[in-house]
Structure 1
Amino acid sequence: MRKIPDGVFKPRLTSGEKKSDVTTTVATQITESEKAAREAKTARLRLSRLAYEETRPSPDPKKKAGSGKRRSGT
């Protein structure tokens, strides 16, 4: 029995499918680059916040609020 060469029965993409594949690839690259930029910004802001919290003095304890009951003025 003869071996069938690779790709003989492989369906070829139409021009529309090729364009769709290119669009999908480009969109994926864009979203991945945006995700990387967002994660880098988040990490930078987190480090900045942690450094700020280390240098900031601890807040004073809050005063207790009243009972919340009001007297009627009538």
Structure 2
Amino acid sequence: MDEVAINAIFQPKASKQEAKADTTTRVAREIMDVEVAKREAKTERLRLARLEREYAEADKPSKPAAAKPRKAAVAKKTKR
């Protein structure tokens, strides 16, 4: 039998170090996947809230800005 067939049938055993590293990697990836899913859900929720707020604000008629009273201009003194 060739090497590929042998490895397909008889899986080589991982050493203790490799097994522990594989476990650590798997757990770390699971944690990161959960964090990514939470972040994406939060982003989607916030995006929808922003769009709803913008839609509600667009429906309101905007009031014209109130004119502010101007202060009298102070004449500058010139030095002689």
Query: With structure 1 as the length reference, what TM-score do the two structures score?
Result: 0.65
RMSD of aligned residue pairs (Cα, Å): 2.8
1:11 aligns with 12
State the secondary structure of the residue aligned to 2:23.
Answer: helix
> What are the Cα deviations for residues 8-34 of structure 1, in whole angstroms up to 9, with x where unaligned?
xx4321100000000000000000000
Query: With structure 2 as the length reference, what TM-score do the two structures score?
Result: 0.61
Q: How far apart in 2 are the matches of 1:58 and 1:13?
A: 69
Q: Which runs of 5+ in 1 are unaligned?
A: 61-74
Q: Which runs of 5+ in 2 are unaligned?
A: 64-80
The structure number with the bigger radius of gyration is 2
1:43 aligns with 44
The equivalences for 1:1-74 within 5 A come to 6-7=9-10, 10-56=11-57, 57=60
